[in-house]
Structure 1
Amino acid sequence: MATDGRKRSQVSSAPPRKISVEKFAEARASELEALHTIVSERLNKDFRSQRSKRRRTTAHDNQATKRRSRKKQRHGVAGQSDALPAEKDDKNVPRRIRRRAELKKNLEEGFCTSGDGTKRLRTHVWHAKRFTMTKLWGYYLPLGLHGRGRGSRAVLKWFKDGVLAHDASYHVAVQLEGTEECLLSVLRMVLVPSPSARSEDAARSIIAGAIYDNAMLHEFGAPCSTPIAPVTCMWRSSCQQNKDNDASVVYDGGACNGLEVTVRSSTLRQLWVWIHASAFTAGYDALKLACQKKMEESSRMICCISLEGQLAKLEVMGSKSFQLLQRTLCPVTRSNNHAWALNRHSLAEAPDDFKSDTVLENEVDIPSHAVLSLRVKDPRMLVEKQKTANAPESGCASILGNVQGTEDRENAVNGNISDKKKERLSLMGSELEGTGMLTEKSLWDVNSGVSPPVEDMVICQERYDQNKKFFCLDESYSEVPSTSTNLQCSRSCPVLLLKNDDGRGLHIGWSVILPLSWVRAFWVPLVSKGAHAIGVREKHWISCDVGLPYFPSDFPDCNAYLCLKETETAASNVREKLRPPAQRPLRVPTLPPWKSIQDSLREGPTKMSSNSLSNSECESSVVTVCPGDLFDGFMARTSFSLANFLNKFQGFSLRLCPHVTNKPISFTSFMRDESKAGQSQNGMTNFSYNHKLCFVRVFLHAYKEGFFEEGAVVCAPQVTDISLWTRSESSDGGLQVPQSAVASYLKEQSSGKWELQLPEDSISRQSYRWPIGFVTTGFVRGSKKTVAQAFCEAVLLAQIRGQQWDMMPVRRRRKEIYVLVRNLRSSAYRLALATIVLEDQEEDVGFF
C-alpha cells in the first residue's frame, strides 16, 4: 500500500507538454453534443440565417478581386507580390505591380526614383496611403494629412501631451575627413559662427563629439558671401575613433566623456555636416571648394564625401518622446563615452549592467545638443518579447496550467531560468547576437557598408514557429528563403541620438540617425507604439509654436527661399486660373517685395538721403546681391554681427541691445539710460548710412485682436496710432485704409516684380504707413501662443523704439516695440508687440 501511495504522489497534475487534437475532441464529444442540442432547440433546428438580418453586400461575389487575381495569374505573379517574374518583360507587367515591387525592396543604400528622377523615401508607401504627397526639393514628401490643411489644434495637442514622428531622410550628410586643424580651418571659411568662435568649454565639447553645433553655411570665396542654409555639425568622438582604429588603446576613466578630451590638431578626425535637401547642391559645392583651397595651402589631404542615400534621419518630437525611445530602443552596447550617464558611479567602479542601461534612463542628466552613440536591437524583435512574456498571465495560463506559469514567473524574478524557458521568454534572436555584434562597425563607418536588417518575411516565420513551439504543436519548422542571400543581415543597428531644444532650454525632442536600410524597421514600431506621424506642413506649425525658424520659409536671404516661393507662385497661378474671374481673390505677391523697405528709409519717417543707401562694402563682390535682386540686405543672426553693424554708426546710438553672455550692462539699465533721450527726435538724416540693410527676426504678438497671415506687411506706427488701442475709453479703436487703396498698395510690374505704390489722394495718404518688414510665418490656428515670425529692418526698429521711449516716462518703457501689421488682402491695421530675438538669446542660427 505504501508503494502504491508513493507512485500516486509522483504523478504530476500539470497538463501534458503535447496535445493531440483528435484525442482532445473525442474526450469532449459529449460536451459538444450537449451544446449543439441546446442551440438547435433554440433555433428550432433551423440554422439558416434570417433574411431580415442579412446585410445587402456584394462581398460574397467580389468581381474586382477576381479580376485582379486573374490578371496576376496571367502575368505570373500570383502569390508573390514582392518579386517580378524573370521570364517576363517589365513593360508587360502593370505599372502598379512594378512600382509596388520596387518600393518593397530594401536596398542597402540609395532611394527609389520615378521616371523624372524624383526620389521616394523608404517610408513612401506608408505615407502615400495616409498623407497628401507633394513633390519638393527632388523628393516625394508627405505634405500633411488629407483635408484643407487644417488640424493644427490636434497636432499641437499631440506635441504637448504625446509624441510626433517625422521622416526627415531628405536631409543629407556631407562627411569631411582630415586632420583636426585642417577641418577647423575649412569650417572657419564657410560657417558663421565657426566652432572656434564659441566659448572654450563649448568648443571643446563640440570638437570632442559630445554635443553638436548649429551654424549658418555661406558661399566660399567672397567677403560678403550669400548664406546657403543652416547646417548641423557633428564630430566623431575622438575616443571612439581611436578605439575603432586601435583596440589596444587604453583610456582613463574620465578621459573619454567628451568633455575632458585633450584637443590634438594632428589627429585624423571625421565630421558630418547635415544640409537640407533644398540647398544640398550649393552647400556641397561650397564645402568642396573650401577643402580644395585648404589642400592647396597646406598640402594635406582632406576628403569631402556625400553620404546621400546612406544615412536617414527620424525626428521624434513631443513631451513623451524620451519615453517612446525607451520603449523602442534597447541598447546592446556598453557605452563609456557619455559622462552625463553616470551620476554617482565612475566608469571604473560601475557594474556592467549599469553601463549598458543608464544611457536611456535619466533624460534630465543628458545635456542639451548631446550626441549619444548606441547600438540597439531590432525594434521589431522587442514587440515579441512583450507579447511572449505576458502570454502565461493571460490565455495561455488556462491551457498550460497556472502552476507552470507561476513557476516561470518566480524563476524569472529570482534569476533561476532553465535554458529552454529562457529561450521562450527572452527576446527572439538575442542569443544569436552574442558578443560578436560588439565588434561590428559603428554608424560612422556607414560609407564602408552596414549590414541590413532581417527581412519581415523571415521575422514573421520565426515568430510563427516560436508560437507553435510555445504551444507544443508537433509540426516541422519551415524555412523561408531570403531574397537578399548575398547580404549578411543583422539583428542590431548602430544609431546616433541627438537631443534637440529651442536654444532657450525648452526641450523639443530627439533626432535618430540610422542607416537608410533600417528606416522601415524603426518607423513602424515608433508609430505602432503611440507616435503620430506628421508631414512637412505640420512640422512648420510646430517650429512656429516653439519659436524656431523653419528652413527655407524663414530664411529669405537664401536661394532655397526664392525657389520655394517660385514654386508656390506657380501653384497659386494654376489654382487661380481654375476659378471663375468673378470668384478670384485679390492678387497679392507670394514673394514679399523686400526692396520696398528702401523706400521707407528714403521717404518714410526717417527720410534719409538717396545717396546714403549705397552698398559700397559689397559692390565689388559678385555674390553679394541676393537671389534675383529680390532681397537686398543681410540677416543678423548672431549678436556679434548685430553689434558690429551698430558700431558702424558713429555719432548716433541706436536703441538696440544685442544679448551678450556676461555683459556688464543689462537691458533694464540700457532701457533707463537717460543719456540717449531725445536723440531720435532729430531724425536719422545727419549720419551716413552706407551699408546694406540689416534685418532681424522678431516675434509678433497681437495687442488685443488680429490674425497675422504669412506675407503680411509690418509698418511703422505714429504716436497717435498707438493711443487708438491703448486708451481705455476707446471701445472700437483702429486704423483703416480705403478699400480702393488695398489693391493699389503693391502693384505688379511687367517684369513680374511687385513694387510699393504711394497713394495719390489725400485721404489715402493720411492712413498710409511705411513698411519696415514682412511676416514670413503667420499665426498657427489652435495655438495658445499666437506668435508670428517676421523680419524687420534694424535701423527702423531702433528709430521707432526711440520715438516711443522718448514719449513716455522711464518706468513705463517696455522691451517690446509697438508696430502695425496689415494683411495684404485686408484694410485694417492691427497693433502688435514686436520682440527682437537677438535681445533674448545670443544666436539665432538654430533651425527646425
Structure 2
Amino acid sequence: MAVNASKPRVSEVPPHELNVRKFVESRASELEGLHSVVAKRLNNDFRSQREKRKRTTGHDDRVARKKFRKKRRVESGHPSSKDCLAKLEKKVSRSKRRSIEFKKNPETRFCTSGDGTKRLRTHIWHAKRFSMTKLWGFYMPLGLHGRGRGSRALLKKLRSGVLIHDASYYGTVQLEGPQDKLLLVLSSVMVPSPSKHDGENFDENLSGNIFGSAVLHHTGKPSSPPIAPVTYMWRPCQRITTKEVHNVDMIDELRRNSAGTAFRQLWLCIHAAALTEACEALTYACMDLTGGSARCISLEGQLGKVELIGSKASELLEKMLLPACCVPERLWYLKKCNADDNSDPGKLENAPVSINIQISSSSVIQLTVKDPRALTKKKQSIVHEGNSCNLFCYEEVETKTPTNSSFQKLESGSVVDYSDLWDVCEGICPPMEESVACMEKYNQLNEYIGLGIKKFGNQNALKSKCSRYCPILLLKHENPADHVTRCSIILPLSWVKVFWNALILNGAHAIGLREKHWIACEIGLPYFPWDYPDCSAYSYIMEMDVTATNQKMTQCPSSQWPLEIPIPPPWDCVKLNFVKSLSEVDKSLNHIRQHGPNDDLRGNLVRNAICKLSETTSIPFEGFMARTSCRLNNFLNTISANRLLLFPRMKDQNISMHKFMNDDELLEHNADVSEMNRGETQCFLRVRLRAYKRGVFEQGAMVCAPNAVDIMSWTRSDCDDHQLQIPQSSLESYFVQLPSGKWELQIPENPSTRDSYRHPIGFITTGFVRGRQVPSKPMAGAHCEASLISRLRLEQWKMLPVRRRRKEIYVLVRNMRSTAYRLALATVVLEQQEEDVKFM
C-alpha cells in the first residue's frame, strides 16, 4: 500500500467525552451473539449455582431492610421516636475514631492517648508491623514480631542496604543569648566542654558547619552522675537577625553594649528518657550563670528526626532529596547534573540540582527540599511555568526545575516566606494532604489523555495552608566502620510521615529499638541508656526489665522458674582492694615458673591467693565513668597512680604503649604501683570484648580477673579449650538478695569451691548479637574498673615473653546463669580514641 508522504500526519487525540449509548448500539450484533453463546452453554439458566456461592451471609440484607423500615416508622411520627432514634444511632467504634485522629497531621505536638502516652507520626505504620511498647512517655516500636531474632538478615541489610529509624522521640532544646554567655553555660554542664584549645574544630563548630557530642551534667558538677549524652549545633551567624530574637530586652541590651557579643542560637538534641531532667538543668544553668541573659526553650513536639544507617544511605539521600534552595556557607555542596565547570552560567543556573554526599564527618547542611512525593524517576520536580499548583504530575509532561530566584515567586501564592528550619518556633506550614496530592496527579493524568478534571472538595482552601517545600537539617555522623554510613534528617514534625513513606518506598528497611541496639553493638558505639549505667535513665530501664522478668515468672509454675539473678548488676561488688590480693597471684606465678605447672602445687598456691581475697569486705559503689582521656588522666593524677599501665589517647601525650610493652626494665620499675586505699573513688572504663576461642557473652555477664594459671592453660597451643567452672550448687548462692532488695556478693568458704572463684572487675552492658555469621568475631561492650584492669595488664606483661604480649587484656567472662568461664580479650576504648561520647 502506497503512502502519501506529502500529506501531513494528523495525530488522533482521544475524544474529550465518550457516549456509552452510541458505543453499545454500534456493537449490538456482537453483544447479542455473545449472549446467545453463553445462554446455550448455561441452558438459559443464569442463576448462580449453589455450590459456587460464597458461604457468607453478605447477600442477606433482611436485617438492613428491617432497620431501614423501623427508622422510617420513627421518622413518620412514632410516639417514642426520640428514644428509638437514640438507640439506633450507634457510637463510632474506637478503631474508627483513632483512625480518623491519626490521619490528621497537625503542625505541632504528638497525638496522645487517654493516659497521656504520646504517639509518633509513624505510629500506625509501626503498629501494623512491629511489637510496640510503652516507654519514656511514648508508644515505641520495640522490634519485629517474634522472639527477638533476625539479626543475621539485619546485619546483611546493614552492609548492603539502608536501615531507617524514626527517632522523633528525641527532644530538642534551644538555647539563645549572647555567645559568651552560652559558652559559659556549656562549659559548666558539658563534658567535654567546647574550648578554644580545640582549634579548628572549635571554630567550625561555632560557625555551625559541624556538630558536637558531649555528656550533659548538672551545673558545676562534672563529677556527679551525668544526665545523658547530647548532640549540639550552632546556628550560623550569617542567618541571625534581630527579628528572630524572642526577648526584646536582649536586643536593647546588645545595642547599648558596643562591646557585646553577637546574639546566637544553639540546639541540643536529647533522648526522651532524660529530656525533662536536661531541661531543668539547662534552665537552672541559664538563670544561675547568666542572670537571665540566656534562655532555654523546649522545642518538644515541633521537630522530628529520621535516622538512616547503611552502606547505601548516601545513594538514597541523593535520590530522594532535591533542594530548592540552600545555605551556601555549609560544607555540604551542590552539583549541577549534566553540566561541566565551563558551561554557560545561564544554562548552569537552570540545570537540575542534586546533593553530593561526599562530605566530611560531623557536618551539618541546611537545605530547603521539595516534597519527595513530587519527584519522578529522573529525579525532577514537575512544575509548569506560571502555575505552582501543578507540581504533582507525570514524567511525560515537559519539566522545569525552579531555581533559587524563582523559588520565592512560586511560593508567594501558597506558602509563607520562610526557608530556615531554625524558625520553627514561628510556625512552618505542613505538607499537602495525601488525598489532595493523589487527586492532583489523577487530574493531571486525565487532562493529559483528554478525559477532563474531576472536582474534589475545596482544594484551594487546603492548598493555602500547605507547602510544597520543606526546610531540613542534614547531619552526617562519624563512621566507626568503613562499610556503614550514618545520616540524620531533622525536619518539622508534620513532614515526618511524608519523608518516611517516601524513603520506605525507595528501599529503606525500618528498624525498632532492639535492632538499633544490635547495630550499635556491631559498629562499636555506646547505646543510651543501656551503656550508661551511671545515668538515672539506666535505672529506669532496669526497673522495667525487673518488672518484665517477674511477670514472666508469674505466668509459669514455681518449679519452672529460672534462676533469679541481680538486675541491674551489683556494681558495688567490684572492690578496689582486690589489687592487694593480686600480689599473691604474682608470687604463685614465680613459683610456677621455677617448679613448672604441677597440678598439686598450682592448686595450693592459687588456693592461698584466693583465701587472701576472701578476707576483703564489701565497699559501696561510689564510682564514675571516664569517657574522655582528660578525665581519665586527671583521675590518675589525683590518686597518684600515673604509673598505672593505662594509655589514654591525648594530643599532648608522648607515652607510648609499645615502649612499656617491649621494655622489661620499665615493667619492673612499675611493679611498685601504689596500691589503692580503701574507700577511694572507683573509675570505670568502657571496654570492648571478644571471645578468645568460643563463647557467647550476654548482657549483665560478669567480667572477672583471671589467674596466671588460667591464661597459661587457655593459651597453650596443645589445649583445645580449658574448662573452668564453678559448682552448680554454688551458682544460686553466688549473689544473695538482702531484705532491702540489694544484692551482695558471697565469697565461698569451702576450699574446693574457692579454687574456681574469680573476682569480678566489671559487667557487660551490651551482649553479643546472636546469629551473626561474618568473618570478624562478635564484640560485646562492658565497663571495668580502671585500676584493676591496669593491674591485670601489668601481671600479664610480666608473665608473658615480649613476642606474646598484647595491647588487649586477658579477662574471664561468666554469664549470670552459667557455671562456665570463658577467656576473652578486652580493648580499652579510650586507648583507641580521645573521647568516648559518640552514641546511637
TM-score range, shorter chain: 0.7 to 0.9
1:706 Cα deviation after fit = 0.2
1:336 Cα deviation after fit = 1.2
In the alignment, the residues of structure 2 paired with residue 324 and residue 154 of structure 1 have an alpha-carbon distance, to the nearest angstrom, of 20
CA shift in 2, pair 1:515/1:35, >3 Å: farther
2:785 is aligned to 793
1:572 is aligned to 549
1:520 is aligned to 497
Equivalent position amino acid for 1:451 in 2 = C
CA shift in 2, pair 1:158/1:506, >3 Å: closer
1:186 is aligned to 185
1:127 Cα deviation after fit = 1.0
Q: Secondary structure at the match of 1:775?
A: strand
What per-residue deviation string (whole Å, max 9, x for no partner) do you get for residues 412-461 of structure 1? xxxxxxxx999934489999972646942411000111111111121122
1:370 is aligned to 363
In the alignment, the residues of structure 2 paired with residue 28 and residue 664 of structure 1 have an alpha-carbon distance, to the nearest angstrom, of 96
1:103 Cα deviation after fit = 2.0
Structure 2: gaps spanning 5 or more residues: 73-85, 246-258, 383-392, 585-611
Report whether the alignment pairs 1:424 with 2:419. no
1:128 is aligned to 127
CA shift in 2, pair 1:460/1:722, >3 Å: same
* Matches for 1:336-415 after TM superposition, within 5 Å: 336-341=328-333, 351=345, 361-364=355-358, 366-382=359-375
Equivalent position amino acid for 2:279 in 1 = Y
CA shift in 2, pair 1:55/1:632, >3 Å: farther
CA shift in 2, pair 1:42/1:197, >3 Å: farther
In the alignment, the residues of structure 2 paired with residue 329 and residue 426 of structure 1 have an alpha-carbon distance, to the nearest angstrom, of 17
Equivalent position amino acid for 2:523 in 1 = V
Q: Report percent identity of matched pairs.
A: 45
1:175 is aligned to 174
Q: Secondary structure at the match of 2:574?
A: helix
From 758, 777, 780, give the equivalent of 1:769.
758
2:821 is aligned to 829
In the alignment, the residues of structure 1 paired with residue 803 and residue 694 of structure 2 have an alpha-carbon distance, to the nearest angstrom, of 26
In the alignment, the residues of structure 2 paired with residue 190 and residue 346 of structure 1 have an alpha-carbon distance, to the nearest angstrom, of 49
1:487 Cα deviation after fit = 6.9
In the alignment, the residues of structure 2 paired with residue 89 and residue 451 of structure 1 have an alpha-carbon distance, to the nearest angstrom, of 41
Equivalent position amino acid for 1:453 in 2 = P
Report whether the alignment pairs 1:808 with 2:800. yes
1:601 Cα deviation after fit = 2.8
1:117 Cα deviation after fit = 1.2
What per-residue deviation string (whole Å, max 9, x for no partner) do you get for residues 19-61 of structure 1? 6354994698399669949985996889979979959654955
CA shift in 2, pair 1:421/1:536, >3 Å: closer
1:605 Cα deviation after fit = 2.9
Equivalent position amino acid for 2:276 in 1 = T
In the alignment, the residues of structure 2 paired with residue 35 and residue 199 of structure 1 have an alpha-carbon distance, to the nearest angstrom, of 89
Q: Secondary structure at the match of 1:332?
A: strand
Equivalent position amino acid for 1:376 in 2 = V
1:393 is aligned to none
Equivalent position amino acid for 1:816 in 2 = E
Equivalent position amino acid for 1:647 in 2 = N
CA shift in 2, pair 1:123/1:198, >3 Å: farther
Whether the 8 Å contact between 2:335 and 2:353 is mirrored in structure 1 is no
Whether the 8 Å contact between 1:331 and 1:356 is mirrored in structure 2 is no
Q: Secondary structure at the match of 2:327?
A: coil
Q: Secondary structure at the match of 2:195?
A: helix
Whether the 8 Å contact between 1:295 and 1:302 is mirrored in structure 2 is yes
1:137 is aligned to 136
CA shift in 2, pair 1:464/1:596, >3 Å: same
Equivalent position amino acid for 2:369 in 1 = V
121-130 or 692-701: bigger deviation: 121-130
In the alignment, the residues of structure 1 paired with residue 51 and residue 446 of structure 2 have an alpha-carbon distance, to the nearest angstrom, of 38
1:457 is aligned to 435
From 601, 607, 610, give the equivalent of 2:578.
601
Equivalent position amino acid for 1:362 in 2 = N
Whether the 8 Å contact between 1:370 and 1:499 is mirrored in structure 2 is yes
Whether the 8 Å contact between 2:332 and 2:357 is mirrored in structure 1 is no
1:512 Cα deviation after fit = 0.6
Equivalent position amino acid for 1:655 in 2 = L
Whether the 8 Å contact between 1:724 and 1:734 is mirrored in structure 2 is no
In the alignment, the residues of structure 2 paired with residue 21 and residue 148 of structure 1 have an alpha-carbon distance, to the nearest angstrom, of 60
What per-residue deviation string (whole Å, max 9, x for no partner) do you get for residues 750-782 of structure 1? 111111001121111000000000000000013
Q: Secondary structure at the match of 1:239?
A: helix
In the alignment, the residues of structure 1 paired with residue 616 and residue 559 of structure 2 have an alpha-carbon distance, to the nearest angstrom, of 46
1:673 Cα deviation after fit = 3.5
CA shift in 2, pair 1:178/1:539, >3 Å: same
In the alignment, the residues of structure 2 paired with residue 612 and residue 737 of structure 1 have an alpha-carbon distance, to the nearest angstrom, of 20
1:118 is aligned to 117
* Matches for 1:334-733 after TM superposition, within 5 Å: 334-341=326-333, 351=345, 361-364=355-358, 366-382=359-375, 424-426=397-399, 434=410, 436=412, 439-474=417-452, 476-481=453-458, 488-502=465-479, 507-598=484-575, 601=578, 604-605=581-582, 631-650=621-640, 653-661=643-651, 663-678=653-668, 685=675, 688=677, 691-733=680-722
Whether the 8 Å contact between 2:689 and 2:779 is mirrored in structure 1 is yes
Q: Secondary structure at the match of 1:553?
A: coil
Whether the 8 Å contact between 1:341 and 1:358 is mirrored in structure 2 is no
In the alignment, the residues of structure 2 paired with residue 695 and residue 102 of structure 1 have an alpha-carbon distance, to the nearest angstrom, of 48
In the alignment, the residues of structure 2 paired with residue 303 and residue 354 of structure 1 have an alpha-carbon distance, to the nearest angstrom, of 44
1:417 is aligned to none
Whether the 8 Å contact between 2:643 and 2:670 is mirrored in structure 1 is no
1:18 Cα deviation after fit = 3.9
Whether the 8 Å contact between 1:119 and 1:140 is mirrored in structure 2 is yes
90-99 or 537-546: bigger deviation: 90-99
Whether the 8 Å contact between 2:208 and 2:235 is mirrored in structure 1 is yes
Q: Secondary structure at the match of 2:268?
A: strand
Equivalent position amino acid for 2:557 in 1 = P
729-738 or 675-684: bigger deviation: 675-684
Whether the 8 Å contact between 2:705 and 2:760 is mirrored in structure 1 is yes
Whether the 8 Å contact between 2:576 and 2:682 is mirrored in structure 1 is no
In the alignment, the residues of structure 2 paired with residue 529 and residue 561 of structure 1 have an alpha-carbon distance, to the nearest angstrom, of 36
In the alignment, the residues of structure 2 paired with residue 94 and residue 342 of structure 1 have an alpha-carbon distance, to the nearest angstrom, of 51
Q: How many residues align?
A: 761
593-602 or 811-820: bigger deviation: 593-602
From 306, 312, 317, give the equivalent of 1:320.
312
- Alignment RMSD (CA, Å): 4.2
In the alignment, the residues of structure 2 paired with residue 359 and residue 644 of structure 1 have an alpha-carbon distance, to the nearest angstrom, of 51
User: TM-score if structure 2 supplies the norm length?
Assistant: 0.82
Q: Secondary structure at the match of 1:173?
A: strand
What per-residue deviation string (whole Å, max 9, x for no partner) do you get for residues 579-617 of structure 1? 1111111111120000000276377536999999999xx
In the alignment, the residues of structure 1 paired with residue 45 and residue 409 of structure 2 have an alpha-carbon distance, to the nearest angstrom, of 55
CA shift in 2, pair 1:40/1:778, >3 Å: same
CA shift in 2, pair 1:831/1:472, >3 Å: same
CA shift in 2, pair 1:380/1:16, >3 Å: closer
Equivalent position amino acid for 2:128 in 1 = K
From 258, 266, 269, give the equivalent of 1:271.
266
1:81 is aligned to none
CA shift in 2, pair 1:614/1:634, >3 Å: farther
Whether the 8 Å contact between 2:216 and 2:230 is mirrored in structure 1 is yes
What per-residue deviation string (whole Å, max 9, x for no partner) do you get for residues 323-350 of structure 1? 2222222111143122452799999999
754-763 or 420-429: bigger deviation: 420-429
What per-residue deviation string (whole Å, max 9, x for no partner) do you get for residues 125-184 of structure 1? 111111111000011111111111111111111111111111111100000011111111
CA shift in 2, pair 1:765/1:59, >3 Å: farther
User: TM-score if structure 1 supplies the norm length?
Assistant: 0.81
1:304 is aligned to 296
